[in-house]
Structure 1
Amino acid sequence: MDHSLNPVADKKAADFAKDFGHVDTWVFDLDNTLYPHHANLWEQVDNRITTWMANYYGVDGLTARGLQKYYYQRYGTSLRGLMIDEGVDPAQFLDFAHDIDHSPLEPNPLLGTALSLLPGRKLIFTSGTTRHALNIVRKLGVEEHFTDVFDIVSADYLPKPAADTYLSFFARHHVDPARAAMFEDLSRNLIVPHQNGMRTILVVPKLHVEIVRDAWEIERNKGEHVDYVTDDLAGFLIELSAAL
């Protein structure tokens, strides 16, 4: 597209070049970031955790749900709370939680093209497992574009947004945050990246699309720690790559 007669497009391209021209490492959250929110894979994981809690404590689903959300909001993940309070084996818990149906996902060649055009390496940084991440990127058809996965095991089960987890990620993958950008669906998980000098992009659901998430998890307001907001990851990356 010729942007020469489109001052709005020219300004956006100039902003992209200024904000991302120095970036050599692109970091992507997994769930609800690399695939659209409305696929509702996270709903499946969430329900599996509720089932696990009900079985473990011998309680009804409503009580299990309350316990699950208590742990999630207090510790960042239900698993971390269960490890601290109950000494739960994380491997067995994660295997159960991520045993989901991936059929709602379809190959996304546009995302593959967008990732291939992006200069530099691409990493996945998730509070899930590497196995869970690989199942998803293989289903999407974009596995080849990622160099590595930093998962919850790599983080010693300390989830985002804990500052130490980001520091572990930077160290393990030799990431200079001043030359990196991060894509996330949870605004709070972009605070530490922003503080460390990363460019930050919040990936939000499309309006008027039914999704299953707690209301407090859906944050559309940018805030000072969010540089950009998009509801179209592939489209954003293609526009971004064209400006670099």
Structure 2
Amino acid sequence: MESVNSSKPRYECLLFDLDDTLYPFSSGLSEACTNNIIEFMVEKLRIDEDGVVELNDILYKKHGTTMAGLKAIGYEFDNDEYHSYVHGRLPYENLKPDPILRNLLLSLPFRKLVFSNGDDTHVTKALKRLDIEDCFERIISFETLNPKIHDSCVSDSLICCKPAEIAFEKAFDIAQLNPYTTLFFDDSIRNIQTGKSAGLHTVLVGKSEKVYGSDYALESIHNMKEAFPELWSESNNKNKKPESIGYATQISIETSVQA
């Protein structure tokens, strides 16, 4: 039987998706992003407007991101231009500083990383708007998983991104993290399911009920302490910080937690 006072913590790292995870879907960024992608497909790639919505949905579901799908079926375009068009016009003003989330993150001495399919500029801008950019050890982004390689033998048409297993494997290797001691937060069921198969402990964010592949379900990232009080118990046992941050009365408990 595992000792309650075991010196080895169950979790050593917290791995977070960004979009619709560290901020809510209600921000409107996801809807705006989808509209920008469709506009890019029509305006830049000259795809027939009549079928573009359906094509976008098919590519996203099959390849993880529309960008990866477009590259896979033979469309050629500059990655930076795509990201600038799709993310550069998002309503970032809808994202506000989140002191509750900031206190939650800073009160935990575990390793904390962001793992996103978004590009560096998008991820950094969103984190800054939320005022949590300094809460993470590092960001694993599109550029991290897809470094620019000037080699004629390497195809630029193959994009590495979640939910592909190789994306998770690369992230583990780059960050030198052990999936079996890592808690993974994401709003995507597919990402959660791949993460679970890769050994991660999984938390589906934005949903009230668990699905296949998820160990926990949180309607809001603000409910972390409600769902995982052991994280704070472990952090207190580490004695890495002389003072504790009081925020219990600030945390919204209007959403449900399922474990």
TM-score norm. by structure 1 comes to 0.80
Which digits, 9 at most, give the CA deviation of each residue in 1:72-116, with x for residues without a partner? 122221111222311222221111110112111111000000001
- Residue 55 of structure 2: which of 53, 67, 81 is its match? 67
- More RCO (CA 8 Å, sep 6+): 1
1:153-164 mapped onto 2 (5 Å cutoff): 153-156=143-146, 157-164=159-166
Amino acid in structure 2 at the alignment position of 1:121: R
Does residue 114 of structure 1 match 2:116?
A: no
- Residue 182 of structure 2: which of 180, 183, 203 is its match? 180
- Residue 87 of structure 2: which of 91, 98, 108 is its match? 98
Look up the match of 2:121.
Answer: 131
Look up the match of 1:88.
Answer: 77
Alignment partners' CA distance in 2, 1:27 and 1:56: 35
Instruction: Tell me if the contact between 1:112 and 1:142 (Cα under 8 Å) persists in the aligned partners.
Output: yes
The answer to which structure has the higher helix fraction is 1
Instruction: Tell me if the contact between 1:82 and 1:88 (Cα under 8 Å) persists in the aligned partners.
Output: no
Amino-acid identity (%): 25
Aligned Cα root-mean-square deviation (Å): 2.2
- Residue 196 of structure 1: which of 192, 198, 219 is its match? 198
SS at match of 1:153: helix
Alignment partners' CA distance in 2, 1:158 and 1:237: 33
TM-score norm. by structure 2 comes to 0.76
SS at match of 1:107: coil
Instruction: Tell me if the contact between 2:168 and 2:198 (Cα under 8 Å) persists in the aligned partners.
Output: no
Instruction: Tell me if the contact between 1:123 and 1:146 (Cα under 8 Å) persists in the aligned partners.
Output: yes
Aligned residue pair count: 214
Which digits, 9 at most, give the CA deviation of each residue in 1:94-147, with x for residues without a partner? 111101121111110000000011231110000111111110110001111011
Amino acid in structure 1 at the alignment position of 2:173: A
User: Greater shift after overlay, 147-156 or 126-135?
Assistant: 147-156
Query: How far is the alpha carbon of 1:165 from its aligned partner?
Result: 0.6
Alignment partners' CA distance in 2, 1:126 and 1:138: 15
User: Greater shift after overlay, 82-91 or 123-132?
Assistant: 82-91
- Residue 32 of structure 2: which of 23, 26, 44 is its match? 44
Gaps spanning 5+ residues in structure 1: where?
A: 1-16, 206-219
Alignment partners' CA distance in 1, 2:34 and 2:135: 28
SS at match of 2:139: strand
SS at match of 1:202: strand
Does residue 27 of structure 1 match 2:15?
A: yes
Gaps spanning 5+ residues in structure 2: where?
A: 147-158, 235-259
Alignment partners' CA distance in 1, 2:70 and 2:131: 34
Query: How far is the alpha carbon of 1:170 from its aligned partner?
Result: 0.3
Amino acid in structure 1 at the alignment position of 2:87: H
